[in-house]
Amino acid sequence: MKKKRVGIILSALIVVLVVVAGLVWYLFFRQPMSSSETKEPSTPEKIQLATVCSNDQIKLASSAIEPYNADVLRAVSTEIKGKSGHENDQNCMYILARYYIATGQLDLAAGAVNRIQALQTAGGRYSLLFKPPALNVSDLRETVRLQQSSQTSVKSTGYDLDDVDKEAP
């Protein structure tokens, strides 16, 4: 009977030691908390809205967006990109987004649309000088998405239309 009692106590002691050792090992060797757990919640970037694009640039770009005039839109976009602070002007970013969409630079277009969204969140508004009126963010995103799927479709078919035209009677 005494042997049985000593065996039970010894077994319980071993279990306790294993649990304590496991707890110590866990606390000592565990992975540090992820950065999202250790930092305070991030605050959104403070955006200082700016007016960089002139009314003349907006009117000129607007006339080149619809109907599309590549040379004029390229010239206005190049001029805008050379101006400091253009990324904080919603009208400048809209012109750039439309230029990037028109020229198939869809990664840059998506970035410009994201910036427009951030500017709108900060209180930015489109100029009323855009004729036709500027597209809202969801329409811009949809335009980029459609262009991306169109590019993917053309790449995946593998057809070169010039070769198809040459074979046509």
Q: State the average pLDDT over residues 53-57.
A: 95
CA atoms within 13 A on the CB side of 102: 19
Q: How high is the mean pLDDT of the chain? A: 84
Q: Residue 44: what pLDDT?
A: 59
3-state secondary structure string across the chain = CHHHHHHHHHHHHHHHHHHHHHHHHHHHHCCCCCHHHHCCCCCCCCCCCCCCCCHHHHHHHHHHHCCCCHHHHHHHHHHHHCCCCHHHCHHHHHHHHHHHHHCCCHHHHHHHHHHHHHHHHCCCCCCCCCCCCCCCHHHHHHHHHHHHHHHHHHHHHCCCHHHHHHHCC
The model's pLDDT over 79-96, given as tens digits with 9 standing for 90+, comes to 999 999 999 999 999 999
Peptide bond into 67 cis (omega under 30): yes
Q: State the average pLDDT over residues 47-59.
A: 94
End-to-end Cα separation, the chain, in angstroms: 105
Residues 117, 66, 151, 119, Cα dihedral to 10°:
-10
Q: Residue 28: what pLDDT?
A: 74
Is a pLDDT exceeding 50 seen at residue 35?
Answer: no
Domain boundaries, the chain: 2-29, 55-155
The model's pLDDT over 135-152, given as tens digits with 9 standing for 90+, comes to 999 999 999 999 998 877
Q: State the average pLDDT over residues 145-162.
A: 71
